[in-house]
Amino acid sequence: MSEKPLPFDSIRHQRIFISALDWGMGHLNRTAALIIKLCEQNEIIIFSSPSQKKFYSQLFPKLKQIDITSNYVQFHPSSLFKTFLHSFRFVPSIYQENQTLRRFIKNNFKPELIISDHRYGFYHPDTKNIFVTHQVKLQTSSYLSVFNKIHQRLLMHFDELWIPDYENEEESLAGKLSHPDNPILPVHYIQPQSLMQKKQMNKDIDYLFIISGTESERKYFEKAFEKISQILLHKNPSLKVNIIGSYKVDGHLWFGWKNFEETNQLMCRSKNIITRAGYTTLMDWQKINDISQQLYLINTPHQYEQQYLFHYWINKGWTKDIKQFIEI
């Protein structure tokens, strides 16, 4: 991999405001990886929603946190119409998070740098603003191309794009999503960002299912993964099969929600991992996997980004479609 210096390597003695989108745990994990790299040489202030606060408090108990609005969006794999309706709730949250940031700066102090992990409203006109995303160009159907135009317009509030991917397109984990032909802002590739670490552990789990996403997505994949696990166990009852990322716990199949350290260990213990094509999960896999492990992906209906990643990773030969392995 390239040894090119990364942009955060040279940031020193700055007050930095940072905030992440709260659609599940993915943005939190990669933002936390950035905070770890920045916090020793800089003053970090985290703007977090109520659902994010506990996660950050456990990792960074000494860092100050400021309340910010939640992003009210639910993706519904079973209904594009419901997803479309819920998307309208996202628009007010952009305005609200920007107003929260402006009020804080007006009443307190201004940072030297603002880092937003896909929070469109987390910027200030008097400060350098960085937007972290692996989606510079949205992969949508033609009749939804207006969303890509809106995305591009919202990005214009920022000064730079930090992309958690490799600059070399042959190594790229996100393909066209992160390598647009004509980027509208200066682009810096900061390599995949993950809290996971490769660990040499006994592979005592045959299949590990990882559920992620918004609440409606989690419920959808609970049903899908339970069905697949039952098929596997029917064929071979002696298999060790676990599902994480759900709030269901029975000590056998359902292992409940796990923090990143527990997830790290479970992934390293697994011979096979089955998950959807969430980009953070793919970065985690790229960080921990060895040649003895196999990744299977399940496609996500009505999630164009993940549908693109699903096909991109299969075409690259990095993963297999779960339907090639088991009939569901």
Give residue 140's pLDDT. Answer: 61
Find the mean pLDDT for residues 21-50. 92
* 263 and 315 share one domain: yes
Structural domain of residue 316, as residue ranges?
205-325
Quickly state the pLDDT bin for 286 (edges 50, 70, 90).
very high
Give residue 209's pLDDT. Answer: 97
Quickly state the pLDDT bin for 1 (edges 50, 70, 90).
very low
* Structural domains counted in the chain: 2
User: Residues, the chain, total?
Assistant: 328
What crossing angle do the helices spanning 26-38 and 279-288 adopt, rounded to 10°?
60
CATH number of the domain enclosing 319: 3.40.50.2000
Give residue 214's pLDDT. Answer: 73
Find the mean pLDDT for residues 38-61. 94
Quickly state the pLDDT bin for 83 (edges 50, 70, 90).
low
Percent of the chain with pLDDT strictly greater than 70: 90
Q: DSSP E strands: which ranges in 36-191?
A: 43-48, 64-67, 113-117, 128-132, 160-163, 187-189
Quick check: is 199 in a domain?
Answer: no
* 297 and 168 share one domain: no
Single residue among 134, 162, 189 that ends a domain in this structure: 189
More confident residue, 288 or 24: 288
* 229 and 288 share one domain: yes
* 25 and 141 share one domain: yes
Give residue 23's pLDDT. Answer: 77
Compute the 3-state secondary structure of the chain and give helix, strand, coil in percent, each to the nearest 5.
Answer: 40, 20, 45
Find the mean pLDDT for residues 47-69. 94
Query: Is the per-residue pLDDT at 2 higher than 60?
Result: no
Quick check: is 226 in a domain?
Answer: yes
Single residue among 135, 156, 189 that ends a domain in this structure: 189
**Average pLDDT over all residues of the chain:** 89
Quick check: is 83 in a domain?
Answer: yes
Percent of the chain with pLDDT strictly greater than 90: 68
Least confident of 3-12, 200-209, 255-264, 279-288: 3-12
3-class SS at 247? coil
Give residue 194's pLDDT. Answer: 95
Q: Say how far residue 179 (Cα) sits from the centre of its chain.
A: 18
pTM attached to this predicted model: 0.90
* 45 and 109 share one domain: yes
Query: Is the per-residue pLDDT at 129 higher than 80?
Result: yes
Q: How far apart are CA 148 and CA 257, in angstroms?
A: 33
* 172 and 300 share one domain: no
Quickly state the pLDDT bin for 84 (edges 50, 70, 90).
low
* 120 and 87 share one domain: yes
Quickly state the pLDDT bin for 247 (edges 50, 70, 90).
confident
Q: How far apart are CA 24 and CA 175, in angstroms?
A: 23
Give residue 288's pLDDT. Answer: 95
Give residue 81's pLDDT. Answer: 46
Quickly state the pLDDT bin for 73 (edges 50, 70, 90).
low
* 156 and 209 share one domain: no
Find the mean pLDDT for residues 37-45. 95
* 156 and 215 share one domain: no
Tokens 């936390």 sit on residue:
32
3-class SS at 36? helix
* 147 and 178 share one domain: yes
Cβ neighbors of 200 (< 8 A, separation 6 or more) are 268
Q: How far apart are CA 295 and CA 209, in angstroms?
A: 10
Quick check: is 198 in a domain?
Answer: no
Find the mean pLDDT for residues 85-90. 58
* 159 and 257 share one domain: no
* 237 and 315 share one domain: yes
Q: Could you tell me which of 40, 39, 1 has the C-alpha nearest to residue 18?
A: 39
Q: How far apart are CA 85 and CA 71, in angstroms?
A: 14
Quickly state the pLDDT bin for 57 (edges 50, 70, 90).
very high
Quick check: is 235 in a domain?
Answer: yes
Q: How far apart are CA 200 and CA 7, in angstroms?
A: 31
Quick check: is 197 in a domain?
Answer: no
